[in-house]
Structure 1
C-alpha cells in the first residue's frame, strides 16, 4: 500500500467515523429511544428512524459495490426511504442502529486495508475511495439532520456530551 493510499485511507476513516467535523456518529445514535426515533416534527420530512434506515440503505448499497457485487438499483430514490415512521419495537431499533454502525466499521476496515484507487466492476469510473467518501459525506449530511431533530426535541447532547455545542 502506497504512502498516499495510506494517508488518504486515514483521512477517510476520520470522515467515516465523524472525527473533527462533528460528533462521532457512534455517539449520536445509541441513546435514541424508540419514541424519539419515531417522533414526527411538523417542519421536517423524515423521522430519525427514517433517516437512519435511509443512511443504512445507501451505505449498504455502496459497500456491496465495493465488495465487487452488483446491488439492485432502486427504481426510484424514494424506495430508499421507509414508509413507516417509527421502529416496531426497542429490539428492532437497537438492531437497526447496530447494523448501521457495523456498516461504518466495515467501511473503516476497507479504508485501512484496500487499494483505494481500485475501480469497481459494476460502477464504471468509480473507485473504492470514491464510494467510501460518498458514504462518509452522505452519513455526515443526514447526521446533521438527526442532531437538529434531537435539538428540536430537547434530546441533545447525548450522554458524554456533544460537539459542536
Structure 2
C-alpha cells in the first residue's frame, strides 16, 4: 500500500466511512429531554457519552501535536459531572467542539508533511497513524453505546 493510499484510508475512516456509524447519525433527532436520561443497567447517559467522546478525541489530538499537552486525570477528567447537559448551549458546544477537533485530526492526517509512521517525538512510540486509528476505534465503540442507549430509551429506529 502506498503512503497516499494509507493516508486516504485513514481519512475515510476518520470521516465516518466504512462500517462505522457517523457521529451525526448517532445523535440525530435525539430529543433534548433524553440527553440525560438513564436506562436500567446502563452506566452512562447520551450526554455523558458525547462529552466523553469529545474530551478523549481532543486529548488524543492535543497529544498528537502538542508536546506540552497534559491529559485530563483518568478517569474523572474524562467524564462530565452531570447526567444531563447543563443547558442547550452546553450540548451544542460539545457537538461543535467534537466536529472541530475531528476536522483538525483530519487536517493533520491529510497534510502531506505529516509522517504518519514517524514516532511522535514527545511520546513513547506512538505515531500519528496510531492516534488517528485510536480516535476511530474509540469513537466507534461509544457510537455503538449511543445507539444501544437510544434503543433502550425508545429513541432509535432502524
TM-score, L = length of structure 1: 0.85
Structure-2 separation of matches of 1:93 and 1:62: 21
Deviation (angstroms), 1:60 = 0.8
Structure-1 separation of matches of 2:130 and 2:5: 15
Structure 1 stretches of 4+ with a deviation exceeding 6 A read none
Deviation (angstroms), 1:30 = 4.5
Q: Report which of the two has the higher share of strand.
A: 1
Superposed counterparts of 1:2-151, under 5 Å? 4-113=2-111, 114-151=114-151
- Is 1:156–2:152 an aligned residue pair? no
Do the aligned residues in 1 keep the contact of 2:36 with 2:45 (CA within 8 Å)?
yes
Do the aligned residues in 2 keep the contact of 1:49 with 1:87 (CA within 8 Å)?
yes
The secondary structure found in structure 1 opposite 2:40 is coil
Do the aligned residues in 1 keep the contact of 2:21 with 2:143 (CA within 8 Å)?
no
Gap regions ≥5 residues in structure 2: none
Change (3 A) 1:33 1:102: farther
RMSD over equivalenced CA pairs, Å: 1.8
Alignment: residue pair count: 156
Structure-2 separation of matches of 1:121 and 1:47: 37
Deviation (angstroms), 1:59 = 0.8
Range 98-107 or range 71-80, more displaced:
71-80
Structure-1 separation of matches of 2:81 and 2:124: 31
Structure-2 separation of matches of 1:111 and 1:156: 33
Structure-1 separation of matches of 2:86 and 2:31: 12
